[in-house]
Structure 1
Amino acid sequence: MKLGLGWKLYGDGSAPPPGQVVRPDERLSWGRTVGLGVQHVIAMFGATFVFPLLMGLDPNLAIMMSGICTILFLLIVNGKVPSYLGSSASFVAAAVIISADGGSAATVTGAVLVAGVVLALSGLVIHLLGADVIVRAFPPAVTGGVVMLIGFNLAPVVSDAYWPHDQWTALLTMVFVILATVLLRGFLGRITVLLGLVFGFVLSWVLDLVFGAIPTEQEDGSVQEVFRVDLSGVAEAPWIGLPEFHAPEFHLSAILVALPAVIALIAENAGHVKAVQEMTRDDLDPYMGRAILADGVATVLASSVGGAPTTTYAENIGVMAVTRVYSTAAYYVAAVVAILVGLCPKFGALVYAIPEGVIGGITVILYGMIGLLGAKIWVENRVDFANPLVLVPIAAGLIAGIGNVSLTFTDSFQISGIALGTLIILGGFHLLNALAPQSMKVAPAARTASGPDSGAAADGRGEADGAD
């Protein structure tokens, strides 16, 4: 089974007893496998449609392409790394910056496509040179800093755009998600963002009934009374149809903004492969580069038709940890279900109807959690900030990246924000490490750090080392 297709029936097809696992090349009965596949869809669902929405991309297309890209990923890794590819959070900041500078959705997907090509080439290099090259090129000190500035760079989006639109809905939605994340357990604890969206939707509808419309600034600068919830688009949308495709456009300034996310995606995919390796007890290091290559190819495919970038999802790794079922058959089922959901325009219209105040309450948590994942990488890898070689370039890069500092070369070309911050952190660290005396040099980490997967940002829960 070179492509990982065709599965042996595990036992009598029932759930594994305590201490036993269902391996990637095995499956339960098809009825149970379908049930597990649907569970994987629910686990990835919230983040997979939220992040495209924040990037100004079509959630329907993102859901559909996540299914197609998951199948592509599984084929490239020969079924050895069971994973689901959902929408990546790592490009949200880049998309917001590109859009704020006047870039269209096509400009965003063009920048993402180039980043996907770089990610795929990086995976190929890692496959040829070995998994250790990741730690040497992107040590935890660098990866943590880049992840942190990617998240915290988004703070002005919450404060300037989403939150002011309806501050009380945003506040109550935020409080609900915080309480749900802490108090709920099991499956419900994994979909707190989705629950928060439902709560905010219902809350907005109630507020419309009780208090009426709210003043809202229109594109022409005028202010009109608008209801928080508008479902007219849902009523008009058909049940079955293709999502909206578009071709990418390529602009150097946008590409430079998106490229730093490649560092986060390399660390993220590596962390997830390590997590699956810990659970399955298989040696997956030979497939590390292949998995990163597969994610890059999937991102290129998705963005080439206007879809969102992809990444492996921690939520689905968590589902495997709980069920002890690592069968790739369940992921194929999940992929097919996602493709079918993506072919329902009414679902996309419902997503677009989510009030901005609700998005404000969700993103104030999501963006902060993406940033704090950088600190988590530092803590887990015991990064030594007493060493000036580590402290100085990261300190400078964080302020440049989070503060949107710009370096202008010509009227039409500048490097700013995340791109500039990443260059300072990455270039500064390696330059100082080359020039410093031996006593100050930073030794390679013992293991690969994990990165900011959309799933971890979505619910903050991890099941195994590197799974969040």
Structure 2
Amino acid sequence: MSVKQRRNVEELEPPSSELLYGLEDNPPWYLCVLLGTQHFFTMVSTTIPIPFVLASLVCLEPSDPARSYLVSTIIFVSGLITFLQSTIGVRLPIVQGGNFAYLIPTVALLSANFASCESQRAANLTAAQQQEEWQARMRAIQGNIAVSSVFQIILGFTGVIGVMLKWITPLTIIPTVSLVGLSLFDLAADRSSQHWSVSMSTTVLMVLLSQYMKDVSLSLPTGYRRGYGFIYSEVQVFKMFSIIVALLTSWLVCWVLTVTDTFPPGCPSRTDRSTLISNTPWFRIPYPGQWGMPTVTVAGVLGMMVAGLASIIESVGDYYATARICGTPAPPVHAINRGVGIEGVGVTVAGLWGSGSGTNSYSENLAAITVTRVGSRRVIQMSAMVMLVAGSVCKFGALCASIPEPIVASLYWIMFSLITSVGLSTLQFVDLNSSRNLFVLGFTLFFSLSVSKYVKANPESLKTGLPLLDQTLLVLLQTTIFLGCVLGCFLDNTIPGTKEERGLVSWRAQQGDSKSCPGYDLPYGMDAIRRRKWLRYLPFSPTFRGFHSAKYNVTVNTTTSTPVPVTTTTSTPVPVTTTTSTPVAETTTSAAII
């Protein structure tokens, strides 16, 4: 989440005293189910485009039940990871879901190692051969995602992420995140071109509901009291469900136009083109290796690692924003480390299960917390249960996968443009009057897009004589976020410039103060963890306060427990008292910051 988005959330966020349920509170079970289902639908509306893109990239036919399997898998995996993150990870009410950043290296990987879908269809393959072709693509995607997650796990559980963030500056983040959206405009245009009128009308409806009507409230029944009847409340439906309402409305219109034969046979927007729902079983539980044994390449792993780094940056920002909304102190260092590490574990799970995408936190669900004024962790855990159930009901996945592609293409316009603006919003920290900053930003964006476009059009130009190196360079140089991250980081950290000019002062100040809070402790075993002093050296342990905290704690304990320094210097007790209290205060502060 961008800083601008987080500030917008802060303007809407209720003070902690106005929260109906805080982080540690447990609402009634029925309220948990209702609010958890709301979070589920909010997540699904953002996640649906990912399996649609993957289905087209791996050359799946419209009526193939595997389309519904992809949708069900990513929902199921999101439920697993959401439960892990909210229970033993950062322990904030954060929903985890599919990550668009992984689509960039996926496109580069497939274009470098597999034939196009057009040439595959022209080959007149049998059904068994077609299945092997798309599963081979999925195995390549999931294997590289799973192996790349080791990088994210190490960054989190070793605490290295804190060191790396010192080098990851705003001018590194801006091109890395923005290029995720900018690189996918070809995909959005291609899918929308199947039926421009449907795609554009759905896009207009989404903009109308989400931007112009977001503050419109509808009086809806929210309860029932015996003797009084239904209880009505003002609900801002469009603020939370604008995408779902727009999709369902366009889908209904397309169904009417299909029934009345207004859409001619073969039209991509017809709702009767696919027998997907009838061909899909009711229940199917996703499992690891469901597409076969994953395959791995060096180039694919490196590309996915860059996507993981981009997701880490976004997720850490979401941690701070969620804590503010829930009226909880900013997450301490051990919670950040554990959150990043568990997110890496989630990417491993997503890779092994074959969802086709990594995962990260969803800032869209923060709006639901703001509106409902319920920041309970239990609600998100219930939402995770809903995801697991929905991911096991294949008919639900088939229903989502049967939405006409021109309708889903409208989501691409909204999502990809928001991703681009999320990256650009970080510009508020950078001095845009500096010619140095303008050069770093402009050159990084333009050079990354240009090189990627050239290499994609001329793959034969890379001939080093080493096949492995050729393949690695071919994938990496087509991955714009890799080029943007490396080039932006190198230029910003080597070209001379002040910290204020580069935006480092305000960027690091926005993280706030990280104080210890019981809400970030693990749910079980805290007494045993506190008794074992060696655990304070583990960056993901709740007793960890920084790599120098143990040293500082010894100094403080020695000073406070031993009265010798006070009694020795009896002639000047006041300076001794001042000297004793000052180091303790400074030590405590520095230990909390590190």
Q: Aligned letter for 1:250?
A: V
Deviation, 1:306, is: 0.4
Counterpart AA for 2:338: R
- What amino acid is aligned across from residue 196 of structure 2 in structure 1? Q
Please tell me whether the aligned partners of residues 270 and 404 of structure 2 are also in contact (alpha carbons under 8 angstroms): no
In structure 2, the partner of 1:261 is 307
Match of 2:462 in 1: 408
Q: Aligned residue for 1:13?
A: none
Q: Which amino acid aligns with 1:408?
A: L
- Residue 71 (structure 2) pairs with residue 59 (structure 1): yes
Is the 1:144–1:378 contact (alpha carbons within 8 Å) kept by the matching residues of 2? yes
- Whole-angstrom CA distance in 2 between matches of 1:176 and 1:424: 33
How far did residue 295 of structure 1 move? Answer: 0.9
- Residue 153 of structure 1: CA displacement? 0.3
Report if aligned partners of 1:124, 1:290 keep a CA contact under 8 Å in 2: yes
Higher-Rg structure is 2
* Aligned equivalent of 1:433, options 474, 488, 493: 493
Q: Secondary structure at the match of 1:446?
A: helix
Q: 1:297: how far off? A: 0.9
Cα distance, 1:61 vs. partner?
0.7
Amino acid at match of 1:71: F
The separation in 2 between residues aligned to 1:421 and 1:396, in whole angstroms, is: 14
Higher helix share: 2
Partners of 2:480 and 2:364 lie apart in 1 by: 31
Give ranges in structure 2 of 5+ residues lacking alignment.
1-14, 56-66, 115-135, 215-235, 456-460, 512-594
Distance between the aligned counterparts of 2:285 and 2:100, measured in 1? 24
Is 1:139 matched with 2:172?
no
Q: Contact 1:106/1:248 (CA < 8 Å) preserved in 2?
A: yes
* Paired residue secondary structure (1:165): coil
Change over 3 Å in CA distance of 1:323–1:230 after alignment to 2: same
| Gap runs ≥5 in structure 1 | 1-15, 217-224, 451-468
SS in 1 for 2:360: strand
Match of 1:6 in 2: none
Pairing partner for 2:99 from 80, 85, 88: 88
Cα distance in 2, alignment partners of residues 349 and 309 from structure 1 = 22
2:137 to 82, 104, 116: 104
- Among residues 221, 232, 237, which one is paired with 2:275 in the alignment? 232
Contact 2:108/2:475 (8 A) holds in 1: no
Q: CA deviation at 1:294?
A: 1.2
3-state SS of 1:156 partner = helix
Match of 1:342 among 391, 395, 414: 391
Q: Secondary structure at the match of 1:86?
A: strand
Cα offset for 1:269? 0.9
Quote how far apart the aligned CAs of 1:268 are.
0.9
CA RMSD of aligned residues (A): 3.0
Aligned equivalent of 1:184: 213
Q: TM-score, normalised by structure 2?
A: 0.64
Contact 2:81-2:346 within 8 A present in 1 as well? yes
Which residue does 2:445 correspond to in 1? 398
In 2, Cα distance between equivalents of 1:409 and 1:155: 29
Q: Is residue 299–residue 476 contact of structure 2 (8 Å, CA) maintained in 1?
A: no
Aligned ranges for residues 22-41 of structure 1 at < 5 Å?
22-41=21-40
Distance 1:376 1:295 in 2: 24
C-alpha spacing 1:18/1:129, structure 2 compared with 1 (3 Å):
closer
Q: Percent identity?
A: 20
Distance between the aligned counterparts of 1:315 and 1:226, measured in 2?
28
Q: How does 1:24-423 map to 2 (within 5 A)?
A: 24-56=23-55, 58-77=70-89, 79=91, 81-101=92-112, 102=114, 104-125=137-158, 127=159, 130=162, 133=163, 135-160=165-190, 162-185=191-214, 186-208=236-258, 209-213=260-264, 227=270, 229-243=272-286, 245-246=290-291, 247-279=293-325, 280-286=327-333, 287-307=335-355, 308-379=357-428, 381=429, 383-403=430-450, 404-405=452-453, 406=455, 408=462, 410=464, 412-413=470-471, 414-416=474-476, 419=479, 422-423=482-483
Task: Provide TM-score, normalisation by structure 1.
Answer: 0.80
How far did 1:231 drift? 4.4
Preserved CA contact (<8 Å) 1:384 1:390? yes
Q: Which moved more, 1:340-349 or 1:362-371?
A: 362-371
Partners in 2 of 1:233 and 1:339 — Cα distance? 21
1:432 Cα shift? 5.3
